[in-house]
Amino acid sequence: MRYTLTVTAEQSGRQLGEILRQNGWSRRQVTSLKRTEGGILLDGEHARTVDVCREGQVITLERADSTSPDPNPDLRADILYEDGHIIVFDKPSGMPTHESHGHRGDALSNLFAAHCGGLTFRSVNRLDRETSGCVIVAKDAHAALTAAKTVRKIYCGVCEGVPEPKSGRIDAPIARERESVIIRCVRGDGKPSVTLYDVTEENGSSARCDFTLLTGRTHQIRVHMAHIGHPLRGDSLYGNGGGTLALCCREVGFTAADGREIVCRSALIPEL
């Protein structure tokens, strides 16, 4: 994967290594570049991290990506955004983000491999198999790091009943159910977990809510909504099941490699 940086007026006179660190490249990544033939170039010529750069010079970095899942071109998910370093998929419910035991060849990683052959699959955010919506995938390690530092996510779901108050904060620790590797529960010895919710629409028997996570626990929204007596519709683990889980990552925002602010919105919002 090739990555280019243009030296700014502010960076002029600084060493190349310092400029790389300012742009988020870790010591480990820089060491890997130095060991790669043609890994660091300045205006097309081999460069050292101690070389002094001048305004307008172009730094070219070449990374070799290592592992890629098997491609499956038969899988389908809309692409909401793509550039040379990032792609955002609108993942449908029922598709895992990563391969796992029992799910080989049917994951978003396999679709990515078909679309971006040879690249390592680096998901910046990960959704449960049943959850639909925006998944950011980086095409290189630096883009993954940059996006992960700036990512913003809003979830949308339909719950049973109408929460009161209509906007609130659920602050309840989440732990793994002792007899299960999958199911989570609210328990005093769990990890701190905070979810903000806001009812955006209701019909008397159910409500559509927006959710913002202040922590990132497994099944956090599902566990918290069940905890307050309003499980998500279609939740077979924490609610009454029946049908598709009504939960979607409806919006993501992040800073692209060139500094642009990118916002993507899912088309898979669950109906009330």
Buried b / exposed e over 115-146, threshold 16 CB at 10 Å, is bbeebbbbbbbebbbbbbbbbbbbbbbbbbbb
- Cα distance between residue 161 and residue 152, in whole Å: 28
Identify the CA nearest to 104 among candidates 71, 145, 57. 71
Q: Catalytic site residue 210?
A: no
Active-site residue, from 128, 189, 198, 235: 128
* CB 16, CB 47: distance < 8 Å: yes
* CB 106, CB 72: distance < 8 Å: yes
- Cα distance between residue 31 and residue 9, in whole Å: 26
* CB 93, CB 146: distance < 8 Å: no
Catalytic residues: 128
